[in-house]
A and B are shown apart, each in its own frame.
Chain A
Amino acid sequence: MSGDNKINIVLAGQGNSGKSTVFNYLTGLHQHIGNWAGKTIEKAEGTLFYRDHTIDVLDLPGIYSLTTVSEEELISRSYIIKQNPDWIINVVDSTNLERSLIFTLQLLELERPVIIALNMTDLAKRKGIAVDVKKLQNILKVPVIPTIASRGSGLTKLVDKVIDLKTDKSARIIHKYGKEIEQGIEELSEQLKGIDLPYPLRWIAIKLLEKDKDIRAQVSELKPQVIESSLRIMEELEEIHGHDSPLVIADERSLLASRITRETVRIAKDRKLSLNERLEALTTHKVTGYLIMILILGGMFLAVFSFGNWFSEWLDSIFLGWHDLWQDRVGTSFWPALGWSAIESVLALVQIAFPYILPFYILLYLLEDWGYIARISFLMDKFMHKMGIHGKACVSFIIGLGCNVPGCLSCRIMESKRERFITAVLVTLVPCSAVSVIVFGLVGKYVGLLWALGLYIFAAVLIFIVGKIASKLMIGEPVELIMSMPDYKTPNIKTIFSQTWDSLKEFIYIAAPIVIVSGVLIQAINLAGWMPAIASVMSPVTVNWLGLPAVTGILLIFGILRKELILVMLAAYLGTTNFNEVLTSQQMITLAIVSMFYVPCVATISVLWKEYGWRKALVITLAETAFAIVLAGLVKRVLDIFMV
């Protein structure tokens, strides 16, 4: 009996089908659930123990098809074929049945056992969409189980089915294409007989007619004569249909999906203009859309900052006595001081992570889960195109306003390497919450709130210009936006918190080691008494060019760790938090500009390193530092003329 209790299943489905939710429910393993298509690139595995069975579950990347050869798609299909799972659970978005079926049809062509989890039936019902499950089951000849993964409903039934049926060895009649295509498939399948490939012959034949590069390469090695026949057949097909043979096949598959949908789906006719649609019209409107966007994002930052400042001050009051306590108990000599700097780094990390980044993420994922982030991408697409990237990059910018680290990580949603890189570079210029602390704490408080806001506008213009230049310098065609527009839905608290937790964890994992190590290192330099020397070495830049006190050289070095340290250290070195007593308005603005754009903090550099290699990380770091210094010096000279 023991050997029989092991079952292997994989989850396959398009982005936004709720596949990850099914996975989380089944395995209890927490994993990032996104609203962006194709975000689950990592391999996610888990195990479920149920009814005396051990069920291994693998979550395949969310993909739109098995034909366009992207990395995720290649991974998915070769996994399905090579691992030969007992069941493929195809999670289907019932509110988007037609599009989902295009993928299902491709999955069925692989001739592996498939169960369909017809997901989000609650949403479908609310939208007046009724799917005839029995009919769908009869047409596709596979089990179809209605589910609502967000509430866990139907999932037990799904697993019961998996266990009861064990697996499906019955030969299934797969859907047929038009006559000419079927003849071609038959001829090729005949010739392919005996080929040493793990795929079904019919599937190989279809892929050859779809000009699939991967399959064509594999076949041409084993049976080159089949390739010749396929070329001839494709030519014939193209002559009859008037366009490319992959398109002929795609068209037929797509039309078949429409036909099945027409037969199985009924949409209630008397749908009034629902609240959802009215909201949709308002939030994507040429005028009100932008107004609402400014209100929502502005409100979000205001909320995060007022909460963050309050929370951060409260934490300050708690940590206040810790340093004295440490000095009393451990000592004040070199090593204890170094030890304290490690603790201080951790405390500082806590003070940025919980007051600012945590609430920022909660609100961000709330907007995402509600469906609003896609609207921002829509509204901003045209603008982003001017920088050679498209609307989705906007999301990375918004995240970057919270913290550059997750901002840079989120660039993974961009389709091409070129866009990913441009977006990442621009994100490092986005003023993060630490920079905002400086801008508001220095310029906003002592020069004027309008000046602080002016600096933000200045940053926006600058990012735009850099983006324009980058898009000219980086070779390659800009990719156009293709994005599905999810309906607004009631945000799911559980999803929001699990996403927030995952992102926070990622931030801490990446940032913490670097921040602690460099914190200790810089403290060691400080304790060795080298700081004044460094400050004087830097004085031609800080004093002569930027017109700042020599001590800023030290501040800027500490600022590499975390930028808000510039303000903290400034207070420590100058012995006062009334900065207007020691700095002129011009100096505060100059210092703020340098802080905004020079070296991204170490945590951000480490992400750039991880994602793009050390060479690019180094180039960005040096270029931005030089850029910030030149820029701030120029601004200082302009200010000297206009401000007295």
Chain B
Amino acid sequence: MLTQMHHRHGVKDRKDGINLTNLDDGQSGIIVSVMGGEMLTKRLADLGITTGKEVKVIRKTLFSGPVQIEVAGSKLVIGWGLASKIMVKSNER
């Protein structure tokens, strides 16, 4: 059900997160959880994508293309599917 809902602030997840793709360009949030297998979460952790970190969406692309983010002081590009596995609590409002 979660993935079908695309309202920006409407999607609720455990721990009250929305997935990263629901943030607008320029918005940031605090990571509440990273869903995914062991290898993937480890790999993301190496890049500083871990619970409690602030992450900013620099820009998204058309048609669910990759997402450019800033986390742990560095700029990264991750695939849309991956971005949708990172749950954040929006800093806005």
Interface residues of A (CB under 8 A from B): 64-65, 67-68, 95-99, 102-103, 211, 243-244, 246-247, 250-251, 253-255, 257-258, 261, 265, 281, 284, 286, 374, 377-379, 381-382, 385, 390-391, 480-485, 487
- Chain B neighbourhood of A374, CB < 8 A: 77
With both chains docked as a complex, state the minimum distance between the C-beta of B67 and any C-beta of chain A, in angstroms. 10
- Chain A neighbourhood of B73, CB < 8 A: 96-99, 261, 265
Chain A, interface SS category? helix
B66 touches A254 (CB 8 A): no
- Chain B neighbourhood of A102, CB < 8 A: 45-46, 48, 72
With both chains docked as a complex, state the minimum distance between the C-beta of B86 and any C-beta of chain A, in angstroms. 12
B48 touches A382 (CB 8 A): no
Nearest to B81 among chain A residues (CB) is: A480
- Chain A neighbourhood of B47, CB < 8 A: 64, 99, 482, 484
B41 touches A484 (CB 8 A): no
Chain B, interface SS category? mixed
A382 touches B61 (CB 8 A): yes
Nearest to A290 among chain B residues (CB) is: B62
User: In the complex, A473 Cα to B75 Cα: how many Å?
Assistant: 34
**B22 within 8 A of partner (CB):** no
Q: List 18 A-B contacts (CB under 8 A).
A: A64-B43, A67-B46, A68-B46, A97-B73, A98-B72, A98-B73, A247-B50, A254-B50, A257-B48, A258-B53, A258-B72, A265-B73, A284-B68, A374-B77, A378-B77, A379-B61, A481-B82, A482-B82
B38 touches A385 (CB 8 A): no
- Chain B neighbourhood of A391, CB < 8 A: 66, 77
A385 touches B79 (CB 8 A): yes
Nearest to A96 among chain B residues (CB) is: B74
- Chain A neighbourhood of B61, CB < 8 A: 286, 378-379, 381-382
A99 touches B65 (CB 8 A): no
- Chain A neighbourhood of B10, CB < 8 A: none
B81 touches A485 (CB 8 A): no
User: In the complex, A223 Cα to B43 Cα: how many Å?
Assistant: 29
B74 touches A99 (CB 8 A): yes
With both chains docked as a complex, state the minimum distance between the C-beta of B15 and any C-beta of chain A, in angstroms. 9
Known: A67-B42, A98-B73, A480-B78. A255 touches B65 (CB 8 A): no
A484 touches B53 (CB 8 A): no
B48 touches A254 (CB 8 A): yes
Interface residues on B, range: 35 or more
User: In the complex, A338 Cα to B51 Cα: how many Å?
Assistant: 69
- Chain A neighbourhood of B72, CB < 8 A: 96, 98-99, 102, 254, 257-258
| 12 new A-B contacts at CB < 8 Å, known A244-B38, A378-B68, A482-B43 | A68-B43, A98-B74, A102-B48, A211-B38, A381-B66, A382-B64, A481-B77, A481-B78, A481-B82, A482-B44, A482-B79, A485-B76
User: In the complex, A250 Cα to B45 Cα: how many Å?
Assistant: 6
A481 touches B46 (CB 8 A): no
With both chains docked as a complex, state the minimum distance between the C-beta of A419 and any C-beta of chain B, in angstroms. 13
With both chains docked as a complex, state the minimum distance between the C-beta of B10 and any C-beta of chain A, in angstroms. 24
- Chain B neighbourhood of A258, CB < 8 A: 48, 53, 72
> Of the candidates B52, B66, B76, which one forms a contact with A382 in the assembled complex, judged by CB atoms under 8 Å apart?
B66
Nearest to A251 among chain B residues (CB) is: B50
- Chain B neighbourhood of A390, CB < 8 A: 79
- Chain A neighbourhood of B21, CB < 8 A: none
- Chain B neighbourhood of A67, CB < 8 A: 42, 45-46
Instruction: Name the interface residues of B52-93: CB closer than 8 Å to any CB of A.
Output: 52-53, 59, 61-66, 68, 72-82
User: In the complex, A577 Cα to B34 Cα: how many Å?
Assistant: 64
A484 touches B75 (CB 8 A): yes
User: In the complex, A402 Cα to B51 Cα: how many Å?
Assistant: 44
User: In the complex, A385 Cα to B61 Cα: how many Å?
Assistant: 14
A251 touches B45 (CB 8 A): yes
**B39 within 8 A of partner (CB):** yes
- Chain A neighbourhood of B39, CB < 8 A: 68
A382 touches B63 (CB 8 A): yes
Nearest to B40 among chain A residues (CB) is: A480
Known: A99-B47, A482-B82. A246 touches B76 (CB 8 A): no
User: In the complex, A482 Cα to B78 Cα: how many Å?
Assistant: 5
User: In the complex, A102 Cα to B74 Cα: how many Å?
Assistant: 13
> Of the candidates B41, B50, B52, B77, which one forms a contact with A381 in the assembled complex, judged by CB atoms under 8 Å apart?
B77
With both chains docked as a complex, state the minimum distance between the C-beta of B82 and any C-beta of chain A, in angstroms. 4
Q: In the A-B complex, list the 10 residue pairs whose CB atoms are closest, starting with the nearest.
A: A250-B45, A382-B65, A480-B79, A65-B46, A254-B50, A485-B75, A98-B73, A98-B72, A64-B46, A381-B66
| Chain A CB within 10 A, most for which of B46, B52, B68 | B46
User: In the complex, A181 Cα to B68 Cα: how many Å?
Assistant: 34
**B28 within 8 A of partner (CB):** no
With both chains docked as a complex, state the minimum distance between the C-beta of B66 and any C-beta of chain A, in angstroms. 4
| Chain B CB within 10 A, most for which of A65, A250, A281 | A250
B33 touches A243 (CB 8 A): yes
With both chains docked as a complex, state the minimum distance between the C-beta of B78 and any C-beta of chain A, in angstroms. 5
A103 touches B53 (CB 8 A): no
Instruction: Name the interface residues of B4-51: CB closer than 8 Å to any CB of A.
Output: 33-34, 38-39, 41-48, 50-51
With both chains docked as a complex, state the minimum distance between the C-beta of B12 and any C-beta of chain A, in angstroms. 18
User: In the complex, A244 Cα to B39 Cα: how many Å?
Assistant: 12
B46 touches A378 (CB 8 A): no
B48 touches A98 (CB 8 A): yes
User: In the complex, A96 Cα to B82 Cα: how many Å?
Assistant: 22
With both chains docked as a complex, state the minimum distance between the C-beta of B70 and any C-beta of chain A, in angstroms. 9
| Chain A CB within 10 A, most for which of B43, B68, B72, B78 | B72
> Of the candidates B38, B50, B51, B66, which one forms a contact with A481 in the assembled complex, judged by CB atoms under 8 Å apart?
B66
- Chain A neighbourhood of B63, CB < 8 A: 382
With both chains docked as a complex, state the minimum distance between the C-beta of A127 and any C-beta of chain B, in angstroms. 10
- Chain A neighbourhood of B66, CB < 8 A: 378, 381-382, 391, 481
A481 touches B79 (CB 8 A): yes
User: In the complex, A250 Cα to B38 Cα: how many Å?
Assistant: 12
With both chains docked as a complex, state the minimum distance between the C-beta of A373 and any C-beta of chain B, in angstroms. 12
> Of the candidates B53, B76, B78, which one forms a contact with A254 in the assembled complex, judged by CB atoms under 8 Å apart?
B53
